[in-house]
Amino acid sequence: MDYALIFLAGLAIGSFLNVCIYRIPRKLSIVFPSSHCPSCNAPIRWVDNVPVLSFLVLRGKCRSCGAPISWRYPAVELIAALLFLVSYIRFGFSFELFFYYAFSCALLTITFIDLELRIIPDRITIPFMLIGLVGSVFPGLKVATLAGSIHATWYLGLLSSVLGTIVGGGSLTLVGYLYLKATRVEGMGGGDVKLAAMIGTFLGWKATLGVIFLASLAGSGLGIFLILVFRMSRRTPIPFGSFLAPSAIVMLFYWSRLVEWYLTNLSAGY
């Protein structure tokens, strides 16, 4: 029953995130007016605004004008619900649950905005940087706990949060500068730098390095695939934020397992 309620609550939160994804980059209020069709501006009735279910009942079309409804809406709702459920299983009913779920929701919102518009709004990254720094002061805020034969817990703390901000933002600034010097093409936008800094405030500097590595690996893999298969130019821009944000979610939930796997396997040979 707890899991069902958490999942349903996550669906409702996902519906709100869809509003944020559409309105924040367009600098619209996320409160007023009420939900409406972006094609015909007809108000959406509550019966047509039930997460996922309404999309299925309407067969992905607006009831008023018949315009197609983007697949993004049910996808975001389901992902938000799954993230809430996984966060609850991981952290229980605690401060960490709300702290890191809010972080996950911000990353989810940023991912879809960056995929659609190639921008990362300061209206998300800067406030969440402050939330991360303030939340890091909370005593006993765990980032990860290793299980099995290795017992160790990493706590966030203000110092780690500040260092994460510096490492996240600073490393991408350096990479962007070096890429610009080598190719005379801007390779890293300011939005990516602020996003990396935001991630650092929530995860600390150690996990942030892992996030950047994982995002770079995924981005490079996609770039090579696009060049080889679709003959795209090496200069074709790839929205790096849409790799950074999902990588941060992966590291949030699997960092402890990755570290433990490394300590128990790779480090055994040294």
Rounded Cα gap, residues 23 and 49, in angstroms: 17
H or E segment to which residue 257 belongs:
helix 241-264
Task: For residue 241, give the nearest of 262, 211, 261 by alpha carbon.
Answer: 211
Q: Which two tokens stand for residue 13?
A: 């939160």
Out of 10-19, 45-54, 141-150, 258-267, pick the least confident. 141-150
For the chain, the average pLDDT equals 86
Confirm if 14 and 77 have CB atoms less than 8 A apart.
yes
- Domain spans of the chain? 1-93, 120-270
Task: For residue 164, give the nearest of 216, 121, 207, 213 by alpha carbon.
Answer: 207
pLDDT at residue 151, rounded to an integer: 46
Name 9's Cβ contacts closer than 8 Å, sequence gap at least 6.
81, 84
Q: Which two tokens stand for residue 11?
A: 């669906």
Confirm if 142 and 154 have CB atoms less than 8 A apart.
yes
- The residue with greater pLDDT, 144 or 123, is 123
pTM, entire model = 0.88
pLDDT in tens, 125-140: 999 999 999 999 987 7
pLDDT band for position 186 (cuts 50, 70, 90): low
